A and B are shown apart, each in its own frame.
Chain A
Amino acid sequence: MQLEAMPPVVRLTHVSRTYQAGALEVRALDDLTLEIPPGRFSVVIGASGSGKTTLLNLIGCIDAPSAGAVEVCQQKVAELDDDAVADFRARNIGFIFQTFSLIPVLSAYENVEYPLLLVGMPGPERRRRTLAMLEAVGLAAQAQRRPNELSGGQKQRVAIARALVKQPQLVLADEPTANLDSATGASIISLMRRVQADSHTTFIFATHDPQLMSHADEIFAIRDGALLEHRGSAS
Chain B
Amino acid sequence: MIGVLVKIAWRNIVRNRRRSLMTASAVAAGALAMLLFLGYTTYIFLGMETGNVQHLGHLRVFRAGYFLYGAGNPSAYGIDGYREVMRSIGADPVLEPMIRVLTPTQSLMGIAANYRGDNAASRTFFGEGIIPSDRDRMLRWDQYHTGIYHPLDPPMADADESRGLIGTGLARILNLCAPLALPECPPAPAAAPPPGEHPGKVNADIAELAGRDVPQGGRAPGGAQIDLLAATVGGAPNVVSLNVIGAQPQGAKELDDAYVLMHLALAQQLVYGREEHKITAIVLQLKDSRYLSAARARLNALFRERHLDLEVRDFAELVPFYGQVIRLFSSIFLFIALVMGMIVLFAVVNTMTMNVMERINEIGTSRAMGVRRSRIRAQFLIEGTLIGLIGTAVGAALAIAIAALVNRSGITWIPPGNATAIPLHLDVLGRPLRALGICAGLVLVATAAALLPANRAARLSVVDALRHI
Chain A residues in the interface with B (C-beta under 8 A):
57, 60, 62-63, 82-83, 86-91, 93, 95, 97, 99, 101-106, 110, 114-115, 117-120, 162
Asked whether, in the complex, the Cβ of B370 is within 8 Å of the Cβ of A91, the reply is: yes
Instruction: Give A54's nearest chain B residue, CB to CB.
Output: B463
Which single member of A93, A97, A117 contacts B1 (CB below 8 Å)?
A117
Asked whether, in the complex, the Cβ of B4 is within 8 Å of the Cβ of A90, the reply is: no
Determine if B68 is an interface residue (Cβ-Cβ < 8 Å).
no
Determine if B366 is an interface residue (Cβ-Cβ < 8 Å).
yes
Min C-beta distance of B47 to chain A, whole Å: 50
Asked whether, in the complex, the Cβ of A86 is within 8 Å of the Cβ of B15, the reply is: no
Residues of chain B with a CB closer than 8 A to A117's CB: 1, 4
Asked whether, in the complex, the Cβ of B368 is within 8 Å of the Cβ of A118, the reply is: no
Asked whether, in the complex, the Cβ of B15 is within 8 Å of the Cβ of A104, the reply is: yes
Asked whether, in the complex, the Cβ of A114 is within 8 Å of the Cβ of B372, the reply is: no
Chain B residues in the interface with A (C-beta under 8 A):
1, 4, 7-8, 11-12, 15, 361-362, 364-374, 462-463, 466
Asked whether, in the complex, the Cβ of A90 is within 8 Å of the Cβ of B462, the reply is: no
Asked whether, in the complex, the Cβ of A86 is within 8 Å of the Cβ of B371, the reply is: yes
Min C-beta distance of B365 to chain A, whole Å: 4
Please measure, in the bound complex, the distance between the C-alpha atom of A62 and the C-alpha atom of B367, giving whole angstroms.
8
Asked whether, in the complex, the Cβ of B365 is within 8 Å of the Cβ of A86, the reply is: no
Residues of chain B with a CB closer than 8 A to A102's CB: 365
Please measure, in the bound complex, the distance between the C-alpha atom of A101 and the C-alpha atom of B468, giving whole angstroms.
11
Residues of chain B with a CB closer than 8 A to A106's CB: 7-8, 11
Min C-beta distance of A205 to chain B, whole Å: 16
Asked whether, in the complex, the Cβ of A86 is within 8 Å of the Cβ of B362, the reply is: no
Asked whether, in the complex, the Cβ of A57 is within 8 Å of the Cβ of B463, the reply is: yes
Asked whether, in the complex, the Cβ of B362 is within 8 Å of the Cβ of A60, the reply is: no
Most buried by A among B361, B365, B367: B365
Which single member of A88, A101, A118 contacts B365 (CB below 8 Å)?
A101
Please measure, in the bound complex, the distance between the C-alpha atom of A118 and the C-alpha atom of B3, giving whole angstroms.
12
Please measure, in the bound complex, the distance between the C-alpha atom of A162 and the C-alpha atom of B8, giving whole angstroms.
17
Residues of chain B with a CB closer than 8 A to A57's CB: 463
Which single member of A82, A90, A105, A110 contacts B369 (CB below 8 Å)?
A90
Asked whether, in the complex, the Cβ of B466 is within 8 Å of the Cβ of A118, the reply is: no
Please measure, in the bound complex, the distance between the C-alpha atom of A89 and the C-alpha atom of B364, giving whole angstroms.
13
Residues of chain B with a CB closer than 8 A to A97's CB: 365, 466
Given known pairs A62-B463, A114-B4, the reply for A99 and B361 (CB within 8 Å) is yes
Instruction: Give A99's nearest chain B residue, CB to CB.
Output: B361
Min C-beta distance of A90 to chain B, whole Å: 2
Q: What are some 25 contacts across the A-B interface (CB < 8 A)? A: A57-B463, A60-B368, A62-B466, A63-B462, A63-B463, A82-B372, A83-B372, A86-B370, A89-B368, A91-B370, A95-B365, A95-B369, A97-B365, A97-B466, A101-B362, A101-B364, A101-B466, A102-B365, A104-B362, A105-B8, A105-B12, A115-B369, A117-B1, A117-B4, A120-B1
Given A89-B368, A101-B364, A118-B371, 12 other A-B residues pairs in contact with their CB atoms under 8 A: A60-B368, A62-B462, A62-B463, A90-B369, A90-B370, A93-B370, A97-B466, A99-B361, A103-B362, A105-B8, A114-B4, A118-B370
Please measure, in the bound complex, the distance between the C-alpha atom of A189 and the C-alpha atom of B368, giving whole angstroms.
22
Please measure, in the bound complex, the distance between the C-alpha atom of A189 and the C-alpha atom of B24, giving whole angstroms.
46
Residues of chain B with a CB closer than 8 A to A99's CB: 361
Please measure, in the bound complex, the distance between the C-alpha atom of A145 and the C-alpha atom of B463, giving whole angstroms.
29
Residues of chain A with a CB closer than 8 A to B366's CB: 103
Residues of chain B with a CB closer than 8 A to A88's CB: 370
Please measure, in the bound complex, the distance between the C-alpha atom of A109 and the C-alpha atom of B374, giving whole angstroms.
24
Given known pairs A57-B463, A62-B368, A95-B368, the reply for A86 and B8 (CB within 8 Å) is no
Instruction: Give B1's nearest chain A residue, CB to CB.
Output: A117
Asked whether, in the complex, the Cβ of B4 is within 8 Å of the Cβ of A86, the reply is: no
Asked whether, in the complex, the Cβ of A89 is within 8 Å of the Cβ of B369, the reply is: yes
Please measure, in the bound complex, the distance between the C-alpha atom of A112 and the C-alpha atom of B34, giving whole angstroms.
45
Residues of chain A with a CB closer than 8 A to B463's CB: 57, 62-63
Instruction: Give B374's nearest chain A residue, CB to CB.
Output: A83
Shortest beta-carbon contacts, A-B, top 6:
A90-B370, A105-B11, A62-B462, A101-B365, A89-B370, A86-B372
Instruction: Give B12's nearest chain A residue, CB to CB.
Output: A105
Min C-beta distance of B285 to chain A, whole Å: 61
Residues of chain B with a CB closer than 8 A to A104's CB: 15, 362
Instruction: Give A84's nearest chain B residue, CB to CB.
Output: B372
Please measure, in the bound complex, the distance between the C-alpha atom of A93 and the C-alpha atom of B368, giving whole angstroms.
9
